Chain A
Amino acid sequence: MSIRHSLLALLSTGPMYGQQLKSEFEARTGDLWPLNVGQVYTTLSRLERDSLVEARPGADVALRPYTITALGQAELATWFRAVPGDEPPPRDELVMKVMLAASVDPESAADVIQSHRRQTLEAMHRFTRLKALDGATVATLMMCDAELFRLEAAVRWLDSVEARLRSGARLTPGRPAVSPGSATPSTPEAGGPAETPAGRRGKRAGAGR
């Protein structure tokens, strides 16, 4: 979350004081992201240093309304259109946990998956209750929806992982068999019309030894 660009966005609607920026930010994000006023003033002074905003001259910092500059407007327009976050995306801890659980202990992977599914649904329930409150603002509904879609994606991913594991899918593709009595063909002659991609990978790996 870029507080810097959020403040620029608010200032693009007109000049504002620090305290006013804090309350506007919270109202527009459905009160889900509280912001402390100290963060607001620190950020404003950096924006001022970078010539992205201007403050009306005055002694008391709380009484100085801030205005966005032309440079600030340009920076904001670029930020709105830029891909959020870093490329490649950061590692998702849930994904890492489930992948590791499934690979080190497939027997208990279903329990790990169900535990995350249950907790994710409990979180979804809390956001849904928030949406159901009388007087929920459109900003609150939009924020809750964003969280709900994100959490729903996690549940759907967990469902798909479970389905894959139940279908007997292997986590490590086409590793050639080590035991001599294995049913998996790993000799170079084992090609044929029924050959699977996994079989081909196994054959290459086998031939490389």
Chain B
Amino acid sequence: MTAAPPPRLALELVSRSFGAGPTAVHALRDVSLIVPSGEFVAVMGPSGSGKSTLLTIAGGLDRPTSGRVLVDGVDVAGLSRARLAGLRRERIGYVFQSFNLLPALTAAENVRLPLELGGVRRRAAHTRALAQLEAVGLADRAGHFPDDLSGGEQQRVAIARALVVEGALILADEPTGALDSVNGEAVMRTLRRACDGGAAAVVVTHDAQLAAWADRVVFLRDGRMIDQTDANPAIPHGLLASGPR
């Protein structure tokens, strides 16, 4: 018998403080979160509630003061810098508020970068990059440089880059902040489809319409997870036979 695969992401009683003593800032306090393959989780909370800290810790960009972070069952605390960088490159797709595209590379080159760094051949990487750009509605922008794209388009390129990693754990911070509602919805549909296809996503947002695309919404206040929505286990993915109750 094979054991069930570990969750894509597991945070176990994660805390993160900055500074010490009476002036210490507790950005996260004993946060636990498990995201299995196929699940789309939104994290909501006011500014300063710890949303972004949670995301940087989940992606191994920052280390918790206490608690454990496991990606695909691997405790990131035990990894060397090189192994951690490899894990981030091969398993995790980031979408941040600042798109972080390389200005000297075209849209397609930006999207295929994580694949090429992971050893995928250039031609295969390019084909997958074009397919992802098409999925976010930017097939005709593949040869453009970031400076020639609007903010919204740059964000969609960043999303395509996050999605190009196969079965990625996607970590996104306000991914549609720069988009109008129609483009924002297109991005959320893309993320929704990716999760229905086996990826997993944690999206930080203060936008309720965005969060409503997720299977589950967790709420942060002052670094604590105070509540979460019912993940609607009775409703299978892609099917809502009875309509709104």
Contact = CB atoms under 8 A, between A and B. Distances in A.
Interface of A: 31-32, 114, 117-118, 120-130, 132-134, 147-149, 151-152, 155-156, 159, 162-163
B245 A121 contact: no
29 contacts: A31-B243, A32-B244, A114-B219, A118-B219, A121-B44, A123-B244, A124-B208, A124-B211, A124-B212, A125-B212, A125-B217, A125-B229, A125-B232, A126-B240, A126-B243, A126-B245, A127-B244, A128-B212, A128-B213, A129-B235, A132-B189, A133-B240, A134-B238, A148-B212, A152-B208, A152-B209, A159-B46, A159-B206, A162-B46
A132 to B, nearest CB: 6
A120 B208 contact: yes
Given A121-B229, A125-B214, A159-B206, 8 more contacts: A31-B243, A114-B226, A121-B211, A121-B212, A121-B217, A124-B211, A132-B238, A148-B212
Most chain A beta-carbon contacts within 10 A, residue among B212, B228, B230: B212
B209 A130 contact: no
B140 interface: no
B219 A124 contact: no
B227 interface: yes
B156 interface: no
B16 interface: no
Contacts of B217: 118, 121, 125
B209 A148 contact: yes
A129 B227 contact: no
Nearest to A154: B208
A128 B207 CA distance: 14
B5 to A, nearest CB: 25
Given A127-B244, A133-B240, A117 B219 contact: yes
A156 B208 contact: yes
A151 B208 contact: yes
B199 to A, nearest CB: 16
B192 interface: yes
A147 B212 contact: no
Interface size class of B (residues with CB under 8 A): 20 to 34
Contacts of A148: 209, 212
A120 B227 CA distance: 13
| Closest 7 pairs between A and B when the two form their complex, measured CB to CB | A124-B212, A155-B208, A128-B212, A129-B240, A126-B244, A152-B208, A125-B212
A130 B208 contact: no
A126 B192 CA distance: 14
Interface in B56-115: none
A133 B238 contact: yes
B234 to A, nearest CB: 11
Contacts of A159: 46, 206
A7 B8 CA distance: 53
Contact of B243 (A122, A123, A130, A132): A130
Nearest to B211: A121
Contact of A114 (B215, B227, B245): B227
Nearest to A144: B244
A118 B227 contact: yes
Most buried by A among B192, B229, B232, B245: B229
Contacts of B243: 31-32, 126, 130
Nearest to A30: B243
A125 B228 CA distance: 13
B174 to A, nearest CB: 15
A132 B192 contact: yes
Nearest to A31: B243
Contacts of A126: 232, 235, 240, 243-245
A171 to B, nearest CB: 20
